[in-house]
Amino acid sequence: MKSFSYERATSPAAAAASVATRPGAKFLAGGTNLLDLMKLEIETPTHLVDVQDLKLDRIDATGDGGLRIGAFVSNTALSANMHVRRDYAVLSRAIQAGASGQLRNKATTAGNLLQRTRCPYFYDTNQACNKRQPGSGCAAIGGYSRQLAVIGTSDACIATYPGDMAVALRVLDATIETIDAKGQTRAIPIANFHRLPGNTPHVETALTPGELITAVTLPKPLGGTHIYRKVRDRASYAFALVSVAAVLQPDGSGRVAFGGVAPKPWRSDAADAALSQGAPAVTARAFDGAQPTTGNHFKLQLATRTLAATIAQATTSAKIS
Amino acid sequence: MKFDAPAGINPIDRMAVVGRAHSRIDGPLKTTGTAPYAYERHDVAPGALYGFILGAAIAKGRIAAIDTMTALAAPGVKAVVTYKNAGPLGKGSKNTAKLLAGPEVEHYHQAVAMVIADSFEQARAAAALIDVDYVRAKGRFDLSAEVGHAPLQNDSRDKSKPPSLDRVGNFEAAFAAAPVTLDATYTTPDEAHAMMEPFATIAAWQGDKLTVWTSNQMIHWTHQDLAKTLGIPEANLRVDSPFIGGGFGGKLFLRADAVLAALGAKATGRPVKVAMARPLMFNNSTHRPATVQRIRLGAERSGKLTAIAHESTSGNLPGGTPETATAQTKLLYAGANRLIGTYLAALDLPEGNSMRAPGEASGLMALEIAMDEMAEKLGMDPVEFRIINDTQVDPEKPERKFSQRQLIRCLRDGAQRFGWSARNPRPAQQRNGHQLIGMGVAAAFRNSLNITSGARVRLGRDGVVTVETDMTDIGTGSYTIIAQTAAEMMGLPLNRVVVRLGDSAFPVSSGSGGQFGASSSTAGVYAACVKLREQVAQQLGVNSADADFVDGHVRSGNRSVPLAEAARVGELVAEDTMHWGDLDKQYQLSTFGAHFVEVAVDGFTGEIRVQRMLAVCAAGRILNPTTARSQVIGAMTMGVGGALMEELAVDTRFGFFVNHDLAGYEVPVHADIPHQEVIFLGEADDKVSPMKAKGVGELGICGVGAAVANAVYNATGVRIRNYPITLDKHLDRLPALT
């Protein structure tokens, strides 16, 4: 870990200004990902702005019948919130499918959105990684890629976004609210929040330097059946090979997002529109243009079968022969 | 004492303490956080500096230049140890690669430097400032590319012979003539010990005398190898390891932490403490090598095996040893024509060595799938197929009997207890909703070794017996079974015995490994106690042969004297070592078991979850059913890991294990492990030791992987021969979506 300076911010705007004006500065919230990465010198901030005093930890109703979730609401508190459990159960389920109780106690809503990939080459500072060290190359391409992305990748990076919570937020069409160094606020639809790697895999979100997430808002409840199905090699405490967040309506329509398959939560309108035609029709659209490796090609079939399991759970219509 | 004839009746047979379920006597220390683990020995080595190890960034090549100037100038840094300033270092007899690289690099993450600083954080930060200029060399990293031309090893029992296949009868002819045959290849991946406590040592010099407080399974080996590596007299070195937070074979040997802590303490004149960072654990240390195993079986239609061939290829660094995955196949089943071959490829991956039940664990993962496949070809129940091929003699030397072999009873009792008769022999028939349900069985087999083992026992004036031996307790229960042994021998309750372990100042014991620790170390304590009883009898003026040690008293005829009376004028001290005769030549000493597993496979996603597990074990006298059960359920858990998830992923381009942390290298979590049941058959094997006990810990893992694999096949009808059995390997052959 490199030496760094540390301050505790007193207001969101001050926090944003502090990070924006100091090269190498970062926000520190729960620290469950950033501190680990600092110990490995994958992250080497020179200055940390601790935002835990900002009290952005409320969950409130919005005027249009949705919820506004403070950026620093813990994963535990969010998943346990009665409104979330009742109206956005896919979100509760996604959060509880991730990490461990201890980590969820500490991890925040904003921090969870910003968690970085678990690509093993990203984690090994001896290996080339364009995300960690832009321009150094990608050791994962041609290497051990079983966990890595099948779609949305580039020649520069095939890492996945590893989280669960954001996959549920994607299916719920959440919005990310931010404030920047000038005190300007904006709302970023989650669809636009995470970026595909292209030639700049180190740029992972739409946030500008110093821009601070203040809240995540959910539109009014969708109704329907909320399912989060996470498939992994062991029963708990592992990142998804494939996950499916789904909100399914009694008429067979609905929406679905996939985790563990792409550099961001993966969803397409065309795929959603095919839901009533069954899982293969959905994934044919969702994964059109996929470029899997020989090591992770199975994820395409797994995505279809996991979605089929999800539909079966909701409707008992899909079956295996 | 020498054990060279079957044990007669002895004081252990009373079984007032031995054989009873006792919770661990060291449990309260662990549950209160007061057990002194190596990294926390501030009580004996205050003011230690911190070391942080830098691992090599390449798998093979050499260090062209290493610049430590920036690191040395960093805050708090006291010294940087590299090959350039370490002085001449020897190599431990049990090490294949050197523990400090330079100028050659032999494997990825081989230690190239250690920074010593005032704080751990300073040492870690400075380690990243060391600039190493490497020259890469071409290496061999792909085991599959070596199969077919890797050199044959000597598999005969006569190690003076040149490498050859181990043959009995004429395998080729019998296989060609057999009406039912199987020829299949199975693979097991490289696996990591992944013990909770990393390698950790505190080292301190006083003049030319060195003490290391470390975490190690084999004090004597490590004592010898550290002295040899540092070039100091063994008499000037003390190794102390009273508590070990898991080893599983990874801590059998001297490792880099101890060497570098000693060098760092030398360089700074202060105690130095080192714990290896988790990401370094997987490539820096030893691992269980991957295997490629070809098995050919030939049988009569009756199910009698007539031809058995097992050939295994593994890899290791030059000078390393093979994974002896064929070991059990020499002994497990009858069959007149046999062929065993072990091949070892030179690979430049990190060093392969023992991991829990080396040999048999990997070998049975293959052999016991092959037996399941063969049973299906024969149309036989897999339990019955194994039973009709049981042997009570060494198949290679029929005059040599097993000392005790209850494999058939393990299988039969287990089948009944598990409800095996409910299994549908046709695969893919059993459903529970969208889950595919299957049951599997495998035999368990592990040889029973005994190692020379010594102990010292003291009878204090307070009547307390203290045992001292360099035996280790790696979480297995050694403290408890040793206390039970001394208590039984001296006629005391357990709370009148104190056990001190893991110190090289104590008599040399077997150490912990190869499931030989329980049997061997308690036999050493037995021998020492026999001597102490003689001293007590002499002090009390009774004939030791007539004396009965019971309830804290020594009874002889009408006399009954408190045991403490014998030490009234001074502590009595007795020491002895158990040596072993040739009973293991006259008899084959082995342990047996049967594993039964039920799995549920998600018909949509292919996820495999174990639902029930049963192990039936026949391993001689069980010294403590509580600690033995803990050993076996832990082993069964490791077996599930090996079956379903554990795999060190090899990057064959750069020559390293990619998933080198506990997020990437998955071992079972609680949610993966269902109800586990363990049954011990009542046995007492008089050919094995005066304790009549054998090891059981490693037996618990042997066969589990295959039982899981066979259950998965029974559930899905898809045979997977490449471990771990992950969902991607059968996904495309699961029932179609409708």
**B240 contacts B504 by C-beta, under 8 angstroms:** yes
How many interface pairs between A and B have CB atoms less than 8 angstroms apart? 122
Average pLDDT, chain B: 97
Residue in chain A closest to B660 (alpha carbons) equals A120
Kindly tell me if the per-residue pLDDT of B94 is higher than 80: yes
The beta-carbon neighbor of B728 closest among A124, A229, A298 is A298
Q: Is some CB atom of chain A closer than 8 A to the CB atom of B669?
A: yes
Q: Which of residues 43-62 of B touch A (CB under 8 A)?
A: 57-58
**B456 contacts B506 by C-beta, under 8 angstroms:** yes
pLDDT confidence of residue B160:
76
Alpha helices (H) along A114-242: 120-123, 165-171, 190-193
> What order do you get walking across the sheet with B200-206 strand by strand?
B77-82, B111-117, B49-55, B272-275, B200-206, B209-214, B237-240
Kindly tell me if the per-residue pLDDT of B158 is higher than 80: no
Q: Is some CB atom of chain A closer than 8 A to the CB atom of B726?
A: yes
Q: Is some CB atom of chain A closer than 8 A to the CB atom of B670?
A: yes
User: Do A124 and B727 make contact, defined as CB atoms within 8 angstroms?
Assistant: no
Residue in chain A closest to B640 (alpha carbons) equals A234
Query: Which residues of chain B make contact with A40, given a CB cutoff of 8 A?
Result: 279
Q: Flag whether the ipTM exceeds 0.95.
A: yes
pLDDT in tens, B122-144: 999 999 999 999 999 999 999 99
User: Do B658 and A121 make contact, defined as CB atoms within 8 angstroms?
Assistant: yes
User: Do B666 and A319 make contact, defined as CB atoms within 8 angstroms?
Assistant: no
Q: Which of residues 404-443 of B touch A (CB under 8 A)?
A: 434
Nearest 10 degrees: Cα torsion A200, A202, A203, A205: 130
The CA–CA distances, whole Å, from B325 to A114, B50, B282, B362 equal 46, 40, 22, 6
Query: Which residues are bridge partners to A244 per DSSP?
Result: A229, A258
Query: Which residues of chain A make contact with B54, given a CB cutoff of 8 A?
Result: none
Beta strands in B587-704 (DSSP E): 587-588, 590-602, 608-618, 650-651, 656-657, 675-680
User: Do B738 and A319 make contact, defined as CB atoms within 8 angstroms?
Assistant: yes
**CA distance, residue A13 to nearest chain B CA (Å):** 32
What's the CA gap between B276 and B99, in Å, rounded?
13
Mean pLDDT on B283-297: 98
Query: Which residues of chain B make contact with A1, given a CB cutoff of 8 A?
Result: 121, 124-125
pLDDT in tens, B235-267: 999 999 999 999 999 999 999 999 999 999 999
> What are the structure tokens assigned to B77, written together?
């840094």
User: Do A320 and B738 make contact, defined as CB atoms within 8 angstroms?
Assistant: yes
Kindly tell me if the per-residue pLDDT of B175 is higher than 70: yes
Query: Which residues of chain A make contact with B110, given a CB cutoff of 8 A?
Result: none
Angle B539-B542-B547 from CA coordinates, rounded to 5°: 110
Per-residue H/E/C for A15-79: HHHHHHHCCCEEEECCCCCHHHHHHCCCCCCCEEEECHHHCCCCEEECCCCCEEEECCCEHHHHH
pLDDT confidence of residue B154:
82
User: Do A305 and B605 make contact, defined as CB atoms within 8 angstroms?
Assistant: yes
What's the CA gap between B61 and B63, in Å, rounded?
7
Mean pLDDT on B614-620: 98
Q: Is some CB atom of chain A closer than 8 A to the CB atom of B149?
A: no
The secondary structure element, H or E, covering residue B705 is helix B704-716
Query: Which residues of chain A make contact with B123, given a CB cutoff of 8 A?
Result: none
pLDDT in tens, B43-78: 999 999 999 999 999 999 999 999 999 999 999 999
pLDDT confidence of residue B525:
98
What's the CA gap between A261 and A280, in Å, rounded?
16
User: Do A319 and B649 make contact, defined as CB atoms within 8 angstroms?
Assistant: no
Nearest 10 degrees: Cα torsion B28, B29, B34, B38: -150
Q: Which of residues 28-57 of A touch B (CB under 8 A)?
A: 39-41
pLDDT confidence of residue B63:
98
The secondary structure element, H or E, covering residue B292 is strand B291-299
Query: Which residues of chain A make contact with B75, given a CB cutoff of 8 A?
Result: 3
**A259 contacts A171 by C-beta, under 8 angstroms:** no
Q: Which of residues 603-622 of B touch A (CB under 8 A)?
A: 603-607, 609
Mean pLDDT on B425-440: 97
Kindly tell me if the per-residue pLDDT of B328 is higher than 80: yes
The CA–CA distances, whole Å, from B42 to A92, A270, B32, B48, B365 equal 45, 64, 17, 8, 44
Query: Which residues of chain A make contact with B731, given a CB cutoff of 8 A?
Result: 298, 301-302, 305
What's the CA gap between B197 and B276, in Å, rounded?
9
Q: Is some CB atom of chain B closer than 8 A to the CB atom of A2?
A: yes
Q: Does the annotation count B698 as an active-site position? A: yes
What's the CA gap between B68 and B71, in Å, rounded?
5
Share of residues in chain B with pLDDT > 70 (%)? 99
The secondary structure element, H or E, covering residue B81 is strand B77-82
Q: Which amino acid is at B466?
A: T
Q: Is some CB atom of chain A closer than 8 A to the CB atom of B384?
A: no
pTM for the whole structure: 0.97
Q: How confident is the model at residue B593 (pLDDT cuts 50, 70, 90)?
A: very high
The CA–CA distances, whole Å, from A294 to A146, A229, A265, B331 equal 8, 24, 22, 40
Kindly tell me if the per-residue pLDDT of B343 is higher than 90: yes
Q: Which of residues 141-180 of A touch B (CB under 8 A)?
A: 142-144, 146
Mutant choice from A36, A126, A147 vs B, greatest count of B C-beta within 10 A: A126
Residue in chain B closest to A236 (alpha carbons) equals B671
Kindly tell me if the per-residue pLDDT of B1 is higher than 80: yes
Q: Is some CB atom of chain A closer than 8 A to the CB atom of B645?
A: yes
pLDDT confidence of residue B162:
82
Mutant choice from B131, B737, B738 vs A, greatest count of A C-beta within 10 A: B737
**A296 contacts A147 by C-beta, under 8 angstroms:** yes
**B562 contacts B463 by C-beta, under 8 angstroms:** yes
pLDDT in tens, B388-420: 999 999 999 999 999 999 999 999 999 999 999
pLDDT in tens, A306-315: 999 999 999 8
Residues, chain A? 321
Kindly tell me if the per-residue pLDDT of B738 is higher than 90: no
| B541: alpha, beta or left? (left if phi > 0; alpha if psi -120 to 50) | left
User: Do A233 and B434 make contact, defined as CB atoms within 8 angstroms?
Assistant: no
Q: Which of residues 261-300 of A touch B (CB under 8 A)?
A: 278-280, 298
Mutant choice from A35, A37, A234 vs B, greatest count of B C-beta within 10 A: A234
User: Do B605 and A306 make contact, defined as CB atoms within 8 angstroms?
Assistant: yes
Among candidate residues B399, B330, B372, the one with its CA nearest the CA of residue B157: B330
Q: Is some CB atom of chain B closer than 8 A to the CB atom of A306?
A: yes
User: Do A305 and B734 make contact, defined as CB atoms within 8 angstroms?
Assistant: yes
User: Do A233 and B726 make contact, defined as CB atoms within 8 angstroms?
Assistant: yes
Low-confidence ranges of chain A (pLDDT < 50): none
DSSP code of residue B687: T
What three-state secondary structure class fits A116? coil
Angle A274-A275-A280 from CA coordinates, rounded to 5°: 80
Query: Which residues of chain B make contact with A123, given a CB cutoff of 8 A?
Result: 279, 661, 664
